[in-house]
Amino acid sequence: MYGRPATTAPPLSSHHHPMYGQASSLYPRVGQHSGGNFPGLFNPTPSPSSTTGIGIRVAIKQEYQITPPPPLAPQGDVPQCTFQFDFDLEKKILAEADQKESQIWSRLPLENLPSRGSDQASKASSGDPVMNKYIAFGLNREAVPLAVANYGDNPNKVTEFADGYTYLKEMGFSSNSAADALLMNDNDTNKAIQHLLNNPSY
């Protein structure tokens, strides 16, 4: 079994295998140019003639074509405007209008400013220890003199009046209207609001 010498197979040649010989003619080797066996596969397409041009030619339909504008008649130079605007006059008029408007607004009374009575009461509170005590508690400085003048040194009543007064003022009611409505309704804020809404004169 081990005594037989190894035999080498003879190299294959195209003479023993004619099929491979035909295949070698079909597939050319590297560096060789193929023959004219397949003229239909490798022939390049003929280049377009110089008369057709290069690129894509687009044809636009007649209904989509834009007609060129008619030629304009030759005109001379357009004369420049020589009118001078007097902006100083406009500025003067606007300044006078602003001045007149400010004078008109200064003459109009402001609704939410405290009345003279409340001003006098607030001035008097600076020397009254009772009023200063409630103001030190954080109550409304404008409401404390009115509350003390009507209820005296009564912490509950003064606090109720001051809180209701501040709330009504924040709603937009005037000082006199808020104070009168609270005094008429025993510091009941809801009743005071209903009273003010039902009486537009306030």
Six-digit token string for 137: 């508690």
pLDDT in tens, 128-139: 788 888 888 888
Whether the pLDDT of residue 75 is over 60: the answer is: yes
Mean pLDDT, range 74-93, rounded to an integer:
74
Whether the pLDDT of residue 166 is over 60: the answer is: yes
Mean pLDDT, range 39-64, rounded to an integer:
65
| pLDDT, greater one: 167 or 37 | 167
pLDDT in tens, 10-41: 555 444 555 554 555 566 566 555 555 555 44
Selection from 126, 160, 157 nearest residue 141 by Cα: 126
Q: Distance of alpha carbon 170 from its chain centroid, rounded?
A: 32
Q: How high does pLDDT run on average in the chain?
A: 71
Phi, psi of 149 (to 5 degrees): -65, -30
What predicted TM-score, i.e. pTM, was given to this entire model?
A: 0.38
Q: Where are the domains of the chain?
A: 116-198
So what's the pLDDT on residue 58? 85
So what's the pLDDT on residue 202? 55
Helix (H), strand (E) at residue 24: helix 18-26
So what's the pLDDT on residue 201? 66
